[in-house]
Amino acid sequence: MANGSVRVRFCPSPTGNPHVGLVRTALFNWAFARHTGGTFVFRIEDTDAARDSEESYEQLLDSLRWLGFTWDEGPEVGGPHAPYRQSQRMETYTEIARKLQDAGHAYFCYCTASELEERRDAARAAGRPSGYDGKCREVTPEQKAQYEAEGREPIVRFRMPDETITFTDLVRGELTFTPENVPDYGIVRANGAPLYTLVNPVDDALMEITHVLRGEDLLSSTPRQIALYKALIDLGVAKEIPSFGHLPYVMGEGNKKLSKRDPQSSLNLYRERGFLPEGLLNYLSLLGWSLSADKDIFTIEEMVAAFDVADVNPNPARFDLKKAEAINADHIRMLSVTDFTERCAPWLKAPFAPWAPEDFDEAKWQAVAPHAQTRLKVLSEITDNVDFLFLPEPVEDEASWTKAMKEGSDALLRTAKEKLESADWTSAESLKEAVLAAGEAHGLKLGKAQAPVRVAVTGRTVGLPLFESLEILGKEKTLARIDAALAKLAA
Ligand code: GLU
Ligand code: ZN
């Protein structure tokens, strides 16, 4: 589809932390807008004062910016349909609800919660559909007076037409809903507060949204919204019913739907662990879409160039953390070294870095960075990988120590120290020769010989390439750490 008039929207509610499902929805909408040269509208659905928070709103904006999304209309950028926060559009909804009622598309429902429940239970017991039964569709003036005298406060309910609703979902093809499965539903609370069921399609209509791409969990709202849209067209508020496409569920561990509450789904977690936005977006794009069968790693530009909703797969997608990390690692490798060193900056200082700021050495960092870049899955791993350079002593890790220090390790370390003393400290190759020779002297292969050296110098059994690490740390510190390890072994 190449059509300049595409208008899509991303319209989260500011409740809690942004989660990966939400980001996937934003991504597909954004990519569709960019691919078609259309408009990406960002709207905040904050009509639920009890659940929405300003903090969450700020986080949403911050997250979208971090991910690199830009919006053509929305908070802070404005646009022809401003304001884009529903909490600032309340009069519009009240007015439209009144018009719907005046035209007979909606009505006051005086049923109390317990009455509704009673009838629902009875319908279930009789094997009838258990949704709202239409009792208040026709309320006589006498009944109305009676209800009011009883102090009942009505909600506004939308009158679903008694007809089957069929639409072609952009992802799932033709879908049909029969009237008994889509009962009349509430659009305004008894206290006058408009509900999602009303404000979402009303704003889609007013903002001239052409394509609604959202999670499958919202599929059951679609027939209601289509009916409401028809009523809005009747009122002259809407022009056309948009197309709908429902993005597949994302499954987490144990093949359960990934829920907002799953720690695995929190965007902040990925950000704090040092996912690159481009790595995360690349991975999330694969939850229901693919560029081609043999290409998993691509840039956002490549995605935009290829993206079409028609290619979204309706089957549930599985969230696979290992794969997400592997893709991120590839994106880390794709950065220029300069970009990589800059992006690591947050993890090289407090609260992540354990060393004193004055012990950080920029030249050493620049020297070690290229070796780290090819090894990280997420940027936060940088801290542990380079702490041996900036801490006065290597970290104490008893498990590593026990694993590496075997019988005879002291003899090996003494020989290694001797050989390293006369090695060429401007060449990692020469340092390797020294440790190799020390190993030979004790009948050990390089792997076995370097383990105690690594733990003596870095405190850990795994890390960056050892001989480059020693060269960057320098002769004096390396030898002093071997001495300290020998002293510890002798104690
Ligand atoms: N505010 C709704 C949500 O976050 C939007 C649903 C929709 O895209 O229609 O679930
Ligand atoms: Zn009723």
Residues 126-164 have pLDDT tens digits of 999 999 999 999 999 999 999 999 999 999 999 999 999
CA 20–ligand 1 middle distance (angstroms): 14
**How far is 216 from 395, CA to CA, in rounded Å?**
48
Nearest residue (CA) to ligand 1, atom 2: 12
CA 263–ligand 1 middle distance (angstroms): 21
Q: What is the CATH number of the domain that holds 120?
A: 3.40.50.620
Mean pLDDT of 310-315: 97
Whether 225 lines ligand 1, by a CB cut-off of 6 Å, is: no
Q: How confident is the model at residue 49 (pLDDT cuts 50, 70, 90)?
A: confident
Record the pTM: 0.94
Ligand 1 atom at minimal distance to the Cα of residue 214: 8
Q: What is the CATH number of the domain that holds 437?
A: 1.10.10.350
pLDDT of residue 1: 42
Closest ligand (CA of 211): 1
**How far is 11 from 486, CA to CA, in rounded Å?**
62
Whether 218 lines ligand 1, by a CB cut-off of 6 Å, is: yes
CA 96–ligand 2 middle distance (angstroms): 21
Q: How confident is the model at residue 213 (pLDDT cuts 50, 70, 90)?
A: very high
Count how many domains the chain has.
2
Give the end of a domain, one of 184, 218, 247: 247
Closest CA to 449 of 466, 463, 430, 464: 466
Please state the three-class secondary structure of the chain as a single string.
CCCCCCEEEECCCCCCCCEHHHHHHHHHHHHHHHHHCCEEEECECCCCCCCCCHHHHHHHHHHHHHHCCCCCEECCCECCCCCCEHHHCHHHHHHHHHHHHHCCCEEEECCCHHHHHHHHHHHHHCCCCCCCCCHHHCCCHHHHHHHHHCCCCCEEEECCCCCCEEEEECCCEEEEECHHHCCCEEEECCCCCECHHHHHHHHHHHCCCCEEEEEHHHHHHHHHHHHHHHHHHHHCCCCCCCEEEEECCEECHHHCECCCCCHHHEHHHHHHHCCCHHHHHHHHHCCCCCCECCECCCCHHHHHHHCCHHHCCCCCEECCHHHHHHHHHHHHHHCCHHHHHHHHHHHHCCCCCCCCHHHCCHHHHHHHHHHHHCCCCCHHHHHHHHHHHHCCCCCCCHHHHHHHCCCCHHHHHHHHHHHHHCCCCCCHHHHHHHHHHHHHHCCCCHHHHHHHHHHHHHCCCCCCCHHHHHHHHCHHHHHHHHHHHHHHHHC
Mean pLDDT of 76-102: 98
Residues 189-208 have pLDDT tens digits of 999 999 999 999 999 999 99
CA 285–ligand 1 middle distance (angstroms): 19
Residues 359-373 have pLDDT tens digits of 999 999 999 999 999
The residue assigned the tokens 């959202």 is: 214
Give the end of a domain, one of 230, 247, 264: 247
Whether 201 lines ligand 1, by a CB cut-off of 6 Å, is: no
The residue assigned the tokens 């290597």 is: 394
Closest CA to 50 of 97, 85, 82, 87: 87
For ligand 2, a single-atom ion, the residues with CB < 5 A are 109, 111, 135-136
In a domain? residue 289: no
CA 174–ligand 1 middle distance (angstroms): 22
Give the end of a domain, one of 247, 269, 289: 247
In a domain? residue 484: yes
In a domain? residue 454: yes
pLDDT of residue 261: 84
**How far is 178 from 224, CA to CA, in rounded Å?**
11
Ligand 1 atom at minimal distance to the Cα of residue 10: 8
pLDDT of residue 375: 97
User: Is 377 in the active site?
Assistant: no
pLDDT of residue 2: 40
Q: Give the chain's mean pLDDT.
A: 96
Candidate list 99, 135, 144, 260, residue with the active-site label? 260
Residues 426-483 have pLDDT tens digits of 999 999 999 999 999 999 999 999 999 999 999 999 999 999 999 999 999 999 999 9
To test the pocket of ligand 1, the residue of 41, 43, 46, 200 to mutate (highest count of ligand atoms within 8 Å of its CB) is 200
Whether 45 lines ligand 1, by a CB cut-off of 6 Å, is: yes
Ligand 1 atom at minimal distance to the Cα of residue 22: 4
In a domain? residue 180: yes
Residue 341, CA distances (Å) to 181, 183, 258 in order: 57, 58, 34
In a domain? residue 16: no
Nearby residues of 7 by Cβ (< 8 Å), 6 or more positions away: 33, 38, 39, 41, 207, 208, 209, 210, 211
Q: How confident is the model at residue 260 (pLDDT cuts 50, 70, 90)?
A: confident
Closest ligand (CA of 42): 1
End-to-end CA gap in the chain: 74
Ligand 1 atom at minimal distance to the Cα of residue 12: 4
pLDDT of residue 263: 85
**How far is 56 from 59, CA to CA, in rounded Å?**
5
In a domain? residue 120: yes
Whether 206 lines ligand 1, by a CB cut-off of 6 Å, is: no
Tell me the residue range of the domain where 171 lies. Answer: 89-247
Q: Is the pLDDT of residue 103 over 80?
A: yes
CB 301 within 8 A of CB 278: no
Closest ligand (CA of 28): 1
Nearest residue (CA) to ligand 1, atom 8: 214
**How far is 61 from 44, CA to CA, in rounded Å?**
10
Whether 431 lines ligand 1, by a CB cut-off of 6 Å, is: no
In a domain? residue 51: no
Six token digits for residue 103:
């035209």
CA 126–ligand 2 middle distance (angstroms): 20
pLDDT of residue 3: 44
In a domain? residue 12: no
CB 136 within 8 A of CB 111: yes
